[in-house]
Amino acid sequence: MIKKIYTLYDIKIECYHFPFFGITDAEAKRTISASASTEQSLLGKYPEDYTLYSIGEYDDETAGIKNTEKVYLGTVKEILTESGILPRNR
């Protein structure tokens, strides 16, 4: 099965975090929303500091990795707002 590769960019420390895998962009956004849904998490405390990107594909049958163009999927703040977790005026 082909899975997408995702990463978060942290603007404060100016680096990308370890990648994670998902089947769809919606699943990746849901994973981020769940991780950021509390203010105790760094994603929840500073949602404007993190940006989600799709960066490639992984084939779990061949272990092949295919780089693709980096695709912007939104800041954590935007993702939380879209999902209704974060009020639009925060």
Residue entry with tokens 């203010």 = 39
Asked, for residue 90, whether it belongs to a domain, the answer is no
Average pLDDT over residues 22-26: 97
Asked, for residue 26, whether it belongs to a domain, the answer is yes
Please say whether the beta carbons of 54 and 29 come within 8 A: no
78-87 pLDDT tens trace: 999 988 776 5
Work out the number of other CB atoms within 10 angstroms of the CB of residue 78: 17
- pTM value > 0.85: yes
Please say whether the beta carbons of 68 and 57 come within 8 A: yes
Alpha-carbon distances, residue 30 vs 12, 25, 52, 54 (angstroms): 23, 9, 12, 14
Asked, for residue 88, whether it belongs to a domain, the answer is no
Overall number of domains in the chain: 1
Percent of the chain with pLDDT over 70: 94
Residue 23's pLDDT band, with cuts at 50, 70 and 90, is very high
Closest CA to 22 of 53, 64, 62: 53
Asked, for residue 18, whether it belongs to a domain, the answer is yes
Range of the domain at 57: 2-83
